[in-house]
Structure formats: structure tokens, C-alpha cells
Amino acid sequence: MLAKALLIWILLVVVAVLNGGVRTAFLAPRFGELGGHVISTAILCGVIFVVAWWTIPWLGPRGVRQALLIGTVWMVLTVAFEFLAGHYLFGPSWARLLAGYNLLHGRVWIVVPLATLLAPARAFSRRRAA
């Protein structure tokens, strides 16, 4: 199950990087940097929930706890990727990366790791209830 979760997470990283490109190329010029950030974050969270919905049967958790385990793995990998690859590959300073979590300045990025954590459990529960 965790190997499959890793494969899905890699897909999510590709989508997140593409989403960042769309934000930079299209959203920020049209809506401003902060507006582009908020819209991009909302889009990425929506995609995370859709991917979880589509893939949760293939991932095959036996219960909500296992689905939360998948989400925990996704979230830890996401935050690690953001800070390690973000800093060492893409160059932003540690302070700039941390600033993305500052809700007081309108930065809503923290919603992405939270969505990543909760999406598999939500998808599992909704599919089981359907």
C-alpha cells in the first residue's frame, strides 16, 4: 500500500510543479502575486482531493486509520520536498519558504499540506458511504 502511495505522491508533485508554473505564467500576472497564490492553492487542493478520490480504491486502505497513514506519508513527503528540493534545487531562502505559511500575510499554503493529509481519509470515508 505504501509503495502505491509513493507513486501517487510523485504524481501529486508533478501536478504541484505544473500548478506553480501556471501560477507564475498566468495567474500572478492577471490577479497579482497574492491572488495568484490563493487561486493556485485552491486549485492544487482540489486536484489533491480528486486524485485521492480516484486512487483510494487502488491504494486499498482497510480503514480510515490506514487512509490517514497514507495522508501522513503524503504530507511528510510534501513538506520535505518543499523545503529540501525547494531550497536546494529551486533556490528560495529558508525564510521565503517559511513565509509561505504566514496566514497573517495572506499566505494560505498551509492548506496544501493539510489537504494532502486529509484527502485519502476523506476519499475513503466518502467512497465507503456511497
Q: Give tens-digit pLDDT for 48-57.
A: 999 999 999 9
pTM: 0.91
How far the first Cα of the chain sits from its last, in Å, is: 22
Task: Tally the domains of the chain.
Answer: 1
Residue 60: domain span:
2-129
CB 27, CB 20: distance < 8 Å = no
CB 120, CB 71: distance < 8 Å = yes
Give the pLDDT band of residue 105 (cuts 50, 70, 90): confident
For helices 111-129 and 64-80, the axis angle rounded to 10 degrees is 160
How much of the chain exceeds pLDDT 90, in percent?
75
The total of other beta-carbon atoms located within 10 Å of residue 31's CB is 15
Q: Which of 24-28, 62-66, 75-79, 102-106 is predicted with the least confidence, judged by mean pLDDT? A: 102-106
pLDDT 10s digits, 72-82:
999 999 999 98
Q: Following CA atoms 103, 107, 109, 111 in sequence, which dihedral angle do they give, to the nearest 10 degrees?
A: 40
Q: What mean pLDDT is reported for the chain?
A: 94
Query: Whose CA is closest to 13, among 62, 64, 94, 84?
Result: 84
CA 92 – CA 81 distance, rounded (Å): 13
